[in-house]
């Protein structure tokens, strides 16, 4: 993979969406994750800028994220959160502005 893509399990781990890389691999291989609406069944699926990730997080909460940047390392949480936008949180804040 070139500089414009990254393995799915590595992305999940480096952006701290999964606690370990093994957990990230299991999330992808068990078919509990969608990439741009398609069910993913392999940890090495490429993630690119603009992709939409949908998965069920701990506690049964569904998360919908858009990839904004590919991380260069597994850094601190603040740095990791800059790599994606939570679309549900953005939608909720926009709904509040409309009311």
Q: What is the pLDDT of residues 80-91, one digit of tens each?
A: 999 999 998 766
- Tally of domains in the chain: 1
| Residue 1: inside a domain | no
The span from the CA of 17 to the CA of 56, in Å, is 11
Which CATH number fits the domain that encloses residue 49? 3.10.290.10
Model confidence, pTM:
0.84
Question: What is the extent of the structural domain holding 50?
Answer: 6-98
Per-residue model confidence (pLDDT) at position 88: 84
Average pLDDT (27-46) is 93
Strands (DSSP E) found in 1-99: 6-7, 33-35, 38-40, 46-47, 52-56, 62-67, 84-86
């Amino acid at each position: 993979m070139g500089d414009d893509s990254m393995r799915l399990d590595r992305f999940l781990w480096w952006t701290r969406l999964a606690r370990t890389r093994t957990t990230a691999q299991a999330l992808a291989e068990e078919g509990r994750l969608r990439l741009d609406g398609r069910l993913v069944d392999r940890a090495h699926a490429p993630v690119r800028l603009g992709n939409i990730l949908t998965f069920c997080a701990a506690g049964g909460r569904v998360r919908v994220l858009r990839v904004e940047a590919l991380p260069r390392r597994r850094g601190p949480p603040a740095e990791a959160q800059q790599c994606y936008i939570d679309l549900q949180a953005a939608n909720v804040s926009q709904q509040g502005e409309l009311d």
